[in-house]
């Protein structure tokens, strides 16, 4: 019998996407704005280029003037305004980026000329005007960057070119991380019998930092119901989103689902028909959101990328869409059970993709070798070699 509490991937995504968020603004310096989300529309305060300028080192002259030689009346360096108007039979020596002098409407590049005794002769064809026209990139008042834009280095450079020193961005949300499990110890500590290293905290913190949000370590809790409730209540006070890793299945020591309810959270998602990550939980209390993730490391990573990342990005004013690419599958993929959708670690190289040798949701090594995830919808159990597939890029 089908589990009616188990939601499809699409249904779970829809529920999480409907959670209302409030974007908080913070004005920061340009360098501090890298990897943040723009919280205002940016309009060009002036045209770009700001004036007609030379695109080459060369000589500015009148294109209709066919003189045998042109008298050089001045040299114009970048940042130095021209002093004279160019007349027939004249030219101005000009550097790349310098302002075009009045009268001139063309620049012949230096390689096509010969200069001698204060005169310039054109000795080779140069069919280009070699001028960057005022406003050809941007008109004054034109939209430059829209609110919600992710600020990468190219956008930072653009803002700097327009004279911005500071910019309004979305304040990075605080994302609390609680790892559960008596068996967990921190890297650097010798393992005792039955113990494993707490890799999930580092995985989640790295994924959160990559988004420009702030990971908050709320520590590791042992498998104890009361301790888990206390940690959740405390985390909700200090963070915008809370992520718990481990303790969400149906085992004797899996206290997280009940603890989330006892901490005042309303659970909207309790199971998702997906591999890996079926026992994923999503709940909320007023404006705070919380997720309970399976403890297996591949599950934690994949569920964050698919379901949590879009919510965090919305908290920063950005509607996230995963980057995908197409590739040809090199090896046939088959699975015996197709009741749930699946995300598989996959590696793409030069347009060809290979499904990793994957042993399940604890196989972190396979994920470490992958650069994408292959989504396989429920009901599909085979993809033939040579098929064109869409891959979610990591």
Specify the CATH class of 26-47+136-170 in words. Answer: alpha beta
Q: Report how far residue 357's alpha carbon sits from residue 348's, in angstroms, rounded to the nearest whole number.
A: 14
Pick from 108, 135, 128, 129: which is nearest to 52 by CA? 135
pLDDT at 182: 81
Q: Report how far residue 109's alpha carbon sits from residue 59's, in angstroms, rounded to the nearest whole number.
A: 7
pLDDT at 3: 64
Check pLDDT > 80 for residue 317: yes
Cis before 157? omega within 30 = no
Domain boundaries, given as residue ranges, for the chain: 6-24+171-315, 26-47+136-170, 53-132, 324-393
Q: Which fold has domain 53-132?
A: Molybdopterin biosynthesis moeA protein; domain 3 (2.170.190)
What CATH code would you report for 6-24+171-315? 3.40.980.10
Q: Write down the mean pLDDT value for the chain.
A: 92
pLDDT at 27: 96
- pLDDT confidence bin for 1, thresholds 50/70/90: very low
What CATH code would you report for 324-393? 2.40.340.10
Of 360 and 146, the structure prediction assigns the larger pLDDT to 146
What's the DSSP call for residue 340?
A: S
The sign of the torsion formed by the CA atoms of 97, 103, 109, 115 equals negative
0.85 surpassed by pTM: no
Q: Which tens digits make up the pLDDT trace of 203-212?
A: 999 999 999 8
Q: Report how far residue 387's alpha carbon sits from residue 385's, in angstroms, rounded to the nearest whole number.
A: 6
pLDDT at 104: 97
For the chain, what percent of residues have pLDDT higher than 70?
Answer: 97
pLDDT at 243: 97
Q: Report how far residue 248's alpha carbon sits from residue 200's, in angstroms, rounded to the nearest whole number.
A: 14
Pick from 297, 319, 229, 274: which is nearest to 12 by CA? 274
Q: Which tens digits make up the pLDDT trace of 155-204?
A: 999 999 999 999 999 999 999 999 988 888 888 889 889 888 888 999 99
């Amino acid at each position: 019998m089908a589990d009616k509490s188990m939601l499809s991937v699409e249904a779970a995504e829809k529920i999480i996407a409907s959670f209302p968020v409030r974007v908080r603004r913070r004005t920061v310096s340009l360098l501090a704005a890298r990897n943040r989300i723009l919280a205002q529309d940016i309009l060009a305060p002036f045209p770009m280029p700001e004036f007609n300028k030379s695109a080459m080192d060369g000589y500015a002259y009148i294109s209709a003037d066919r003189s045998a030689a042109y008298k050089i009346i001045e040299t114009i360096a970048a940042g130095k305004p021209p002093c004279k108007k160019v007349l027939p039979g004249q030219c101005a020596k000009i550097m790349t980026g310098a302002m075009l002098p009045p009268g001139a409407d063309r620049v012949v590049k230096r390689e096509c000329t010969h200069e001698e005794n204060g005169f310039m002769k054109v000795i080779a064809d140069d069919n280009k005007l070699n001028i960057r026209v005022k406003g050809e990139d941007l008109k004054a008042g034109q939209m430059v960057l829209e609110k919600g834009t992710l600020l990468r280095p190219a956008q930072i450079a653009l803002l700097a070119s327009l004279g911005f020193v500071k910019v309004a961005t979305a304040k990075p949300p605080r994302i609390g991380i609680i790892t559960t499990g008596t068996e967990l110890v921190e890297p650097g500590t010798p393992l005792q019998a039955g113990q494993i290293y707490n890799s999930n905290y580092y995985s989640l913190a790295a994924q959160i930092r990559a988004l420009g949000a702030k990971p908050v370590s709320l520590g590791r809790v042992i498998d104890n119901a009361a301790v888990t409730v206390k940690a959740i209540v405390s985390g909700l006070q200090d963070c915008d989103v809370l992520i718990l890793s481990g303790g969400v299945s149906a085992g004797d020591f899996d206290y997280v689902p009940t603890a989330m309810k006892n901490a005042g959270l309303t659970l909207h998602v309790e199971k998702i028909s997906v591999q890996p990550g079926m026992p994923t939980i999503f709940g909320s209390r007023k404006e705070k959101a919380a997720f309970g993730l399976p403890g297996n490391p591949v599950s934690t990573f994949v569920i964050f990328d698919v379901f949590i990342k879009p919510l965090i990005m919305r908290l920063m004013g950005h509607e996230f869409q995963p980057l995908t690419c197409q590739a040809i599958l090199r090896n046939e993929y088959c699975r015996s059970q197709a009741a749930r959708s699946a995300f598989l670690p996959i590696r793409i190289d030069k347009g060809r993709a290979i499904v990793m040798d994957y042993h399940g949701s604890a196989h972190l090594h396979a994920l470490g070798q992958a650069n994408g995830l292959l989504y396989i919808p429920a009901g599909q159990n085979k993809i033939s070699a040579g098929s064109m597939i869409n891959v979610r890029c990591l």
